Amino acid sequence: MDGVARNTEEQALVEAAHRVLPAGNFGNLPSDIVIREGRGGHVWDVSGREYIDYLLGSGPMFLGHAHPEVTEAVLAQIPRGTTFFANNEHGIRLAEAIVAALPCAERVRFLSSGTEADMYAMRVARAFRKRDRILKFEGGYHGMSDWGLMSLAPKRLANFPQAVPDSPGIPRSAREEVLVAPFNDLDAARALIEAHHDELGGVILEPFQRLIPPAPGFLEGIREITARYGIPLIFDEVVTGFRFAYGGAQSHYGVTPDLCTLGKIVGGGFALSAIAGRADIMAHFDRGLVGDDGFLMQVGTLSGNPVAAVAGLATLEVLRRPGTYEQVFATGRALMQGMQAALRQAGVPGQVVGEPPLFDVVFTDEPVRDYRSTLRADAAMQRHVNAQLRAAGILKGESKYYVSLAHTEADVAHTLEAFEAALATLPGRRG
């Protein structure tokens, strides 16, 4: 928000951040905003500016900020203890709720972050399959591990299945353990899996990749080819779990993987993630079932801690109520349709891509089916519109609108008004 006046308190915090934090931030949003509080679908910065919040903490706050039932559950638990490094009732109850909700879930293992969940999901698949290589899809985000940060957003496009590391510091050897396929290209993915099936420990994908829905038949085809060769299929549902449906994207799209990873919503805004899946694969976390040679050690100081577990349980209780998902989808659909109409009216080349709970505008008229097609979008136009929206009190990430249960019709109306005004500032707009 350069050029926007901050009060002295926020300015001092921004300056302090640049003294003690690399790039002056936590590695997430840029350093130009310091949030003081959030309630419902809105947040306020330290200078007192109010924003309609479509960032939602990068997705966890699906019910909105400071939901009273989640807050009540957390405040009741804190005086009783915050973590034990041992089983607790709330963590067990949350695991039961996950098993009841998700088609693939027979056993659950808790962790603290999506990165951990994805890393361990790939590891347990390799342990089960006794093969080293993982196939992922270009543009898919699977956390910050060496294997996850392969071909997420490659600056240099390579021939498939070559993996391109997205960060310095990743060992060269890690590249050899990851094969990369194009998302939504079933023929190409099937050919790669068939050619390398005896090397693959698992296949991991986001069933809804960042913003891009699966093409008809794509998930079904990947499920069929992996099942044919006995290769564990992992759905990364850190973002989509409990967002698209109570049973996750696997329920929404009607395709059941062997394993899935969860995060964000399932912890109700606290640090909690999970792997859920088939009992025979998850058995590798149980030394008594697989012996020393098959045992996959996994420990975490805060895994399944009772504060995060009660927050997750309270969140899932709200999500089970009739009409909850219908309301979120109606809100998101109104935003998507309104933005598409505004693009058309302004004569701006663009399309709204995604599903009602999670979408964005991509400034291109060409079809958006995979990572490489997103590169044809006008990134400068997106940055300009995002900046205009921020100035108008709309907070979102670089790409993505997260929709919550707390967003209102008034929020939708203000957002669409701000979006239309932002389009009007673009050069060459239709008068």
Separation of alpha carbons 71 and 398, rounded Å: 29
Contact by Cβ (8 Å): 284, 298: no
- Annotated catalytic residue within 53, 118, 236, 258: 236
Can 155 be counted among the known catalytic residues? no
Contact by Cβ (8 Å): 80, 299: no
Q: What angle do CA 148, 149, 153 make, to 5 degrees?
A: 125
In this structure, what are the phi and psi dihedrals at residue 421, rounded to the nearest 5 degrees? -65, -40
In this structure, what are the phi and psi dihedrals at residue 106, rounded to the nearest 5 degrees? -115, -30
Separation of alpha carbons 51 and 58, rounded Å: 15
- Annotated catalytic residue within 264, 325, 401, 402: 264
The b/e string for 144-174 (b: 16+ C-beta within 10 A; e otherwise) is: bbbbbbbbbebeeeeebbebbbbeeebeeee
Tokens 């060459």 label which residue? 428
Taking CA atoms, 400 is separated from 180, 185, 419, in Å, by: 24, 23, 14
Contact by Cβ (8 Å): 38, 61: yes
Can 53 be counted among the known catalytic residues? no
Taking CA atoms, 329 is separated from 323, 336, 339, in Å, by: 10, 10, 15
- Annotated catalytic residue within 51, 54, 141, 325: 141
In this structure, what are the phi and psi dihedrals at residue 44, rounded to the nearest 5 degrees? -130, 140
Separation of alpha carbons 148 and 134, rounded Å: 10
Q: Which residues are registered as beta bridge partners of 88? A: none
- Give me 234's structure tokens: 């992992």
SS3 annotation, 34-82: CEEEEEECEEEECCCCEEEECCHHHCCCCCCECCHHHHHHHHHHHHHCC
- Give me 354's structure tokens: 């995604």
Separation of alpha carbons 223 and 219, rounded Å: 6
Can 187 be counted among the known catalytic residues? no
- Catalytic residue positions? 141, 236, 264
